[in-house]
Amino acid sequence: MTFREFLGVLGARWRIVALSLIAVLAATAVQTALTPAVYTSSSKIYLRATQPPSAKTGNQTAQYAVSASDLGTYVDVLTSPSVLDPLRDRLGLPAGYPLTISGEVSQTSNMMTITATGGDAQLVARTAGEAGPVLADVAKKFSPLLASNGQSVEADTIVPATVPSEPTSPNTRRNLLLGGLLGLALGIGLALLRHTLDTKVRTREDIAALSKRPILGDIPLVKSVKDGLLSLESDPHGRHAESIRRLRTNILFVDVTTGGHSFVITSSVPGEGKTTTTINLALAMADAGSRVLLIDGDLRNPSVAATMGLDGGFGLTTLLLGHAEPGDVIQRWRESTLFVLPAGPVPPNPSELLGSEPMEALFGKLSTDYDFILVDSPPVVPVVDAVLLNKLTHGLIMVVGAERTKKRDLASAVESLETVDAPVAGFALNMVPSGSSTAHRYGYYGYNQDAGAPKRLRRRRARAKVPA
């Protein structure tokens, strides 16, 4: 995976990353708030041994350095009852009150750092400050040499203990920072896992990973279109209609490369919007001035006539059985140059009819009467009808439903077509969500602005027939 693909995954799965980050930060904040605060205070003392005045020294007190071995002993004694009990008495605490103190001796001098921890900031400061003098009072008992010489130990405070202004634990800033990093790592991991386990086609990149054929258009998802599903009729200046026009333009380039003017429109599985796309595409081609024939080649589940409000009681199967002539069953769509050939009665043997010689002869005759022929075909994965129709046409356009089509179904359809030497001419990514990056990749210049124009201005534009 390239860095650009990695960023694309994060962009597509940003909600997972955001939710993971928020969840971990919230859990960290709650845990930090519930954790009892621990304060720390330290003092630094200098320990020295002293000897009372004698005849030899006069009125001066002799002072000696405490040995390193005695300092090590005092560190161990610091946490013993010999120090803690008198320390509690000096602090005015009851017997057995928990005190946590520790000591550390300097490697280069007789300095000792005494550290006290606890939940009361005032108390830990007093404990760290009083522990040194208390230790000096009892230190003589743990040094036989000093006791035999009549020497005592005194503690000089070098750095006094201060009341801490904030707890050392929990560290709110550090915890939130670590929680944020953990949340981001978890979110990115879940996003990558979700991307790896995702079985549906969602973007152009998913199609490109399965086929090298071009993607001819992105058709946005339209949740509600007034007056039916024909956006070229009900909302001619909308995003859906404009995307159909862009698809029409791109198919014209395919038309140049294939040298023909007929295409079969199919999908890998049902429910990807191929029929609606085919009808709107036929309307767009007719709007451009071409004489277009739309054939409902789905003899198993025909829906073109019902979608367009036409009579579907007779049509393609009627012609194949020789019960009528093309002019008798082909219906003109309103006053346009679009003509529709419904499927007619559903036959028991649709594959045999589509692959028959009468079908080939009929299609050859119709090809000479129209500029473009679009055939709505059954899906590729369930049946073989699309392959039979593709032999009659000059190209196959596959409609892919974004966030509906499974990658394995699309891969199976592409492989099936390539196996019989009927490769896909191009793809149309349908039902693209409005919030996706694919939907915003292209702008819709001018049309959205027209929706808010005054009615009088829109009527004036309509009379002038301003081109889109």
Q: Which two tokens stand for residue 430?
A: 């349908």
Domains of the chain: 3-35+170-197 (no CATH), 39-159 (3.30.70.1130), 204-464 (3.40.50.300)
Q: Which two tokens stand for residue 372?
A: 């473009």
> DSSP class of residue 349?
-
| pLDDT band at residue 435 using 50, 70 and 90 as cut-offs | low
> Contact 254/216 with Cβ under 8 angstroms?
yes
Q: Rounded CA gap, 359 and 87, in Å? A: 107
Tens of pLDDT, residues 278-332: 999 999 999 988 999 999 999 999 999 999 999 999 999 999 999 999 999 999 9
What is the SS3 assignment for 420? coil
Section 376-396 average pLDDT = 92
CA dihedral (220, 226, 231, 234) positive or negative: negative
> Contact 448/235 with Cβ under 8 angstroms?
no
- What percent of the residues of the chain are helix, what percent strand, and what percent coil, each to the nearest 5? 45, 20, 35
Residue 458 above 50 pLDDT? no
Q: Rounded CA gap, 260 and 254, in Å? A: 9
Residue 125 above 60 pLDDT? yes
Q: Rounded CA gap, 257 and 247, in Å? A: 16
Share of the chain above pLDDT 70, in %: 86
Section 198-216 average pLDDT = 89
* Residue 296: predicted pLDDT: 96
Prediction pTM value: 0.62
**348-371 per-residue burial string, b: 16 or more CB within 10 A, e: under 16:** eebbebbbeeebeebbeebbeebb
Specify burial of residue 90 (Cβ count, 10 A radius: 0-12, 13-18, 19+).
Answer: middle
Residue 59 above 60 pLDDT? no
Tens of pLDDT, residues 151-196: 778 888 999 999 998 888 888 899 999 999 999 999 999 988 887 8
Which positions ≥6 away from 351 have C-beta within 8 Å?
Answer: 383, 384, 385, 388
